[in-house]
Amino acid sequence: MSLSRTRTYVGFGFGAIQAGLFLYEASRTGAFGRLVVAEVMPDLVDALRRADGHFMLNIAHNDRIEQVHVGTVAAENPAIETDRARLIDAIASAEEIGTAIPSVSYYVSDAPGSLHRVLAQGLRQKVSIGGPRCVIYAAENHNHAAEILEQNVMSEIPAAEQPAVRDRVRFLNTVIGKMSGVVDDPEELHKQGLAPAFPGSKRAFLVEEFNRILISQIRFDEPFQRGIAVFEEKPDLLPFEEAKLYGHNATHALAAYLGNLCGVRFVSELRDIPGALVFVRAAFLDESGAALVKKHTDVDPLFTQAGYTAYADDLITRMTNRYLRDSVERVGRDPMRKLGWNDRLIGTMRLSLSQDIEPRRFALGAAAALAMLDRAHLDEDTDIEPVLAAIWQDAQPAPAEATRILRLIQHAKAVLHQALSDDNTQLFISLSG
């Protein structure tokens, strides 16, 4: 069966991942005749409509910025009743749906246009009209985003209707290693020569060219053919999700927090800081990588010394792409969340310790994250235990494990305090000594 412009794609959230991954990849397949995006920010909906459903995308290659045009995309605001009705109709007709919103906490609200409620109504309508089977890509950065989304959606569907809905839909987790962002600094837009998303807009989408996205294996009784064929299905996605969180995300955050102490604005500037990339690579391979390879041996070629080395070297090159110009501020934003018990920094330390590997470098990253939260946390007389205890409170960690992690960070804090000087460009050299 030909897929030429016969399909409908619906996306939730009009940020860089939706624009630069899902809508872009869907548009370039030629398989979709209808692209729809749900967005709750009225200014974005209005801007896309004024542009007749077209927007510009900037793609960072290793040697240039490529500007591409994407469209036509219909924009709907689920908070508006008429828009919501059209969105529900689109879901009923869609074969592929992608959620790309800030976090899984945004799945549910009390509003009629809540994502989980709109999806439930669209899926119920899909069953009633005999609409096509569909998959829903949950692109929020959470290892169990698909399960959380499915549970929330099904809670809005009467029990008697749930079996029929479940026959029509599969919720898929994703591992999205594509770095992206929205640039809204006029100076940066001009300096990089970026195309604004819309004529006259002060926002630009900037994404890297990478598009090797992993998804859960689709398990329908009958084969399902995806329009966005570039995604790669995996029978067990969790090891790859851990590689993303404890490898990619953790190392990216470590680079940003220590880079902040060096005074750099962009992660790419670490290429010019003595010892920085050597230090970052050692953290990636000797701590995160060694733990993941040990834990997931025989799962996939990625989890071998050669496979993980190639993965790390590729990512470090991409993280420091001068054309992507990923800012330390963006990568390091929300340090309290990234210091969470199960998140990238502390989670990587815990993973390493579980595999008998001392996470010395990631402890330094955690101490640097505390410094980004408040530089006073690096002072000798500042007690960081209450700060971390408050961050970890909801996770209720085992006291012995929490004490072990805390001691490593306290030691790292002392090391950082001593290493900082008037010339912090030498910081990585000092920390490697």
SS3 per residue for 55-115? EEEEEECCCCEEEEEECCEEEECCCCHHHHHHHHHHHHHCCEEEECCCCHHHCCCCCCCCH
List, in sequence order, every residue forming a beta bridge with 34; answer none if it has no partner. 8
CB neighbours of 184 closer than 8 A, spacing ≥ 6? 202, 203, 204
At 3 the pLDDT is 58
What is the Cα–Cα distance from 268 to 412, expressed in whole angstroms?
24
Residue type at position 236: D
For the chain (length 433 residues), average pLDDT per consecutive 10?
Answer: 76 97 96 97 97 98 96 97 98 98 96 97 98 97 93 98 98 96 92 94 95 96 94 95 96 97 95 96 98 96 97 97 93 95 97 98 98 94 96 97 98 94 88 83
Check if the beta carbon of residue 42 is closer than 8 Å to that of residue 15: no
Cβ atoms of 420 and 261 within 8 Å: the answer is: yes
Instruction: Output b/e per residue, 166-194; b: 16+ Cβ within 10 A.
Output: eebbbbbbbbbbbbbbebeeeeebeebeb
Residue 175 tokens read as 């591992």
What global pTM score does this model have?
0.92
Pairing of strands 169-175, 134-138: parallel
| Cα 403 to Cα 363: distance, rounded to the nearest angstrom | 13
- What is the per-residue pLDDT for 6? 85
Among residues 361, 284, 346, 344, the alpha carbon closest in space to that of 316 is found at 284
Secondary structure of residue 24 in the 3-state scheme: helix
Q: Cα–Cα distance between 366 and 412 in angstroms, integer? A: 8
- Element counts in the chain: helices (H) and strands (E): 20, 12
pLDDT of amino acid 285: 98
Angle ∠(242,243,249) on CA atoms, nearest 5? 95
**Domains in the chain, ordered, with CATH?**
7-235 (3.40.50.720), 239-432 (1.10.1040.10)
